[in-house]
Amino acid sequence: MTHNIIRNPHLEGDTFFWPGGPVGVVLIHGYTATTAEVRLLSRFLHEHGYTVSGPLLPGHGTTPEDMNRCRWQDWTGAVEQAYRQITARCERVFVGGESMGGLLALYAASEHPELAGIFAYAPALMVPPGRILLARLLAPLVPMTYKQRNPVDAIADERWKGYETNPVWAVVQMGDLQQEVRRRLSRIRQPLLVVQGRLDTAIDPRGAESVFREASSTVKEFHWMERSTHCVILDQEWEQAAELTLRFMERVLTQSA
């Protein structure tokens, strides 16, 4: 049985590349999402003159079964490809992501010390206790579980496109990615921006604090969005998060000039 159920199928969610100036940004969506998750921020940065890339990760935007066939290395490989594409035309490149996309941005930073800076929006380093373990137990038996909507996420949900189900094997892969990124945090020395919603119930916000604390970056900022849920770049304070991102980039570029 195919559970091909995509929330908000009318929204744009494919890979995009918007040429702009000599500074580029790769923005990475999260688990089960599409590039709809990063488009508001991407448009904002593109309007301010930046070249912006938004890759659609393997297994996303098609069917949850496709996602269950992916390994976490498929996702890091797609980010690497997007990074190489944008570095071919840009002098400096930032990489950022939402949720699992934040983990992928951190992974890319551990591989590329030349990166100009990193944005981690609600990085999914920690999820509620037992979720990964339960997924490991269920994966051989249950391919999908249905998501339960949280009313507090309503604003972001209207702007989000992705699967209505959780592909269970993919949860296991995200758990493996979490472990790999945690091992690499001390390697990260680039300027780091972490933005976390105070009302986030999808992940454990202490993971964002761990990212901030354990990264070796000397230039780093942490901001709480007091009225935001998990998708801080889609929720009611997304414009504030976008302004913080823009100012952070401008400071980094000025200091490194």
| Chain segment 165-210, per-residue pLDDT in tens | 989 899 889 999 999 999 999 999 999 999 999 999 989 999 999 9
What total of structural domains would you count in the chain? 1
Give domain status of residue 2, yes or no.
Answer: no
First to last CA, the chain: 56
Helix axes 36-47, 238-256, angle to 10 degrees: 50
pTM score, two decimals? 0.94
Give domain status of residue 257, yes or no.
Answer: no
Give domain status of residue 52, yes or no.
Answer: yes
Tokens of 247: 């100012």
At 77, which CATH number?
A: 3.40.50.1820
Give domain status of residue 4, yes or no.
Answer: no
Give domain status of residue 5, yes or no.
Answer: no
Q: Would you state the torsion angle of the CA atoms of residues 196, 198, 204, 208, taken in this order, to the nearest 10 degrees? A: 30
Give domain status of residue 141, yes or no.
Answer: yes
Mean pLDDT (the chain) is 93
Share of the chain above pLDDT 90, in %: 81
**Cα–Cα distances in Å, from 74 out to 56, 59, 135?**
12, 9, 19
How does pLDDT run across 205-257, given as a tens digit for each residue? 999 999 999 999 999 999 999 999 999 999 999 999 999 999 999 999 999 86
> What does the pLDDT read at residue 151?
66
Out of 3-17, 103-117, 134-148, 168-182, pick the least confident.
Answer: 134-148
Residues 17-33, mean pLDDT to the nearest whole number: 97
Tokens of 191: 């300027």
pLDDT at 146 over 80: no
Q: Which helix (H) or strand (E) covers residue 92, if one does? A: strand 92-98
- HSE of 121 in the Cβ direction (CA atoms, 13 Å)? 28
Give me the domain span that covers residue 228. Answer: 12-252
pLDDT at 2 over 60: no
How does pLDDT run across 111-129, given as a tens digit for each residue? 999 999 999 999 999 886 6
